[in-house]
Amino acid sequence: MENVLPFDLSWPNLIYGPGPRVIAFVLNAQINSVRTPDMLKLWGYVSSSTCVLCNGNNCTLHHLLVNCKFALDQGRYTWRHDSVLLDIEQALLKLIRNFNSKKPACFADVARKEYQMSFVKAGEQKRKPSHRAKPKHALLEYANDWKMQVDFKDRKLVFPPVICSTELRPDGVIWSVLTRTVILLELTCCAEEGIEAAQIRKEARYADLMSLVSERKWAPTLLTLEVGARGLVCSKTFHAFVKLGFSNPGAKSLCRSLSEIVARCSYAIYLGHSSPAWPHNNDLVRGKNSETETKSEPLMVLKPDPADPVVANIVQLKQNGISKLYHFTDFSRRFKKNGLMSAHLIKQEISSTMNSSKGSRQSLCGLRELCASILL
């Protein structure tokens, strides 16, 4: 497939990535060797290739991942779509926060610089552009009042009424009142062989809305984002992220994160193809860019009971039969001089031994004696 980015098979991703089962699923899915009902029938393991969920005649991998009506109505594909969209939302929030904190670029100044660079002085040659150069113009660099809405199953998007009124709900809307610019984002998690058809379908769907927005004196831009169900991201999706304002490494990192998320989700959909139960619609898969929205609970502080007598730590150690204490530190001067325990422990006839390069073998013996003294 020429229009998709390859799956990340680097050593760090193979070791610390989604895991061997997900990676094996991605590799087998690309050569159509996953143990689906149609392949099991072809190999002679089963006699029928009917889909368990929708009773389809030929249950292929394409049918399981994108074309099963039962899985669609149950929300399995929506769960995968929203998981990918959540990671995109978190990455865009960071990007918008960065551009909103800067002074916006002036279009006239940028045009003047380009006009001046187009002239070459006498005796000089025009410099060739560097391949590693940062993109000249990002869509978000001309304003610092960007706002964004994202459409989820439990958080419906309402198209900004300041622009126009419509019933259409793109997956994401980014707009600026300062420059009267609006960016529509439309995400599709389709089969890799249907990426081009998905782009044409989305562009035709929002053609009337783009015309309506232009009539209201706004500058609309539609960016279609396609992520394949087998874990391959469309190359145009990478260019769309760069066009928004991501650097090339940042856009590549985001595409790798989306690839991992969709691969994990598709693998979960494949594992559940023989069961009508699906309890994961509310548990979105979070990627590297997704921020965990966990609220830290206040710590419980146990207040001492005034009726209980206060016993010093050294007394409690003696009462429990502890005769030696070992602590392990580096061999810096501060720790070598003072250690991690107060000096009065030695005066109380409880010896304190510090680990060092000479006493490394004695450390294990000290741990054994400590464990033995606690058990006794």
Q: Where are the domains of the chain?
A: 74-104+137-271, 313-375
Contact in structure between 146 and 259 (CB atoms under 8 Å): no
Question: What is this structure's pTM?
Answer: 0.72
What pLDDT score does 330 carry?
Answer: 45
Work out the percent of the chain whose per-residue pLDDT is above 90.
59
Q: 3-state SS of the chain: helix, strand, coil percent to 5?
A: 45, 10, 45
Pick left, alpha or beta for residue 231 (phi over 0 → left; psi -120 to 50 → alpha; otherwise beta): left
Q: Quickly list DSSP for 19-73.
A: -HHHHHHHHHHHTT-S--HHHHHHHTS-S----TTT--S---HHIIIII-HHHHH
Q: Is the pLDDT of residue 233 over 70?
A: yes
Tell me what pLDDT residue 163 has. Answer: 94
**pLDDT on residue 23:** 95
Sign of CA dihedral 262, 267, 270, 275: negative
CATH number of 74-104+137-271: 3.40.91
Judged by average pLDDT, the poorest of 52-56, 132-136, 158-162, 204-208 is: 132-136
Q: Is 256 helix (H, G, I), strand (E, B) or coil?
A: helix
Query: Residue 21, class by beta-carbon neighbours within 10 Å (0-12 exposed, 13-18 middle, 19+ buried)?
Result: exposed
Q: What is the pLDDT of residue 106?
A: 58
SS3 149: strand
Report d(CA 266, CA 79) in Å as an integer.
10
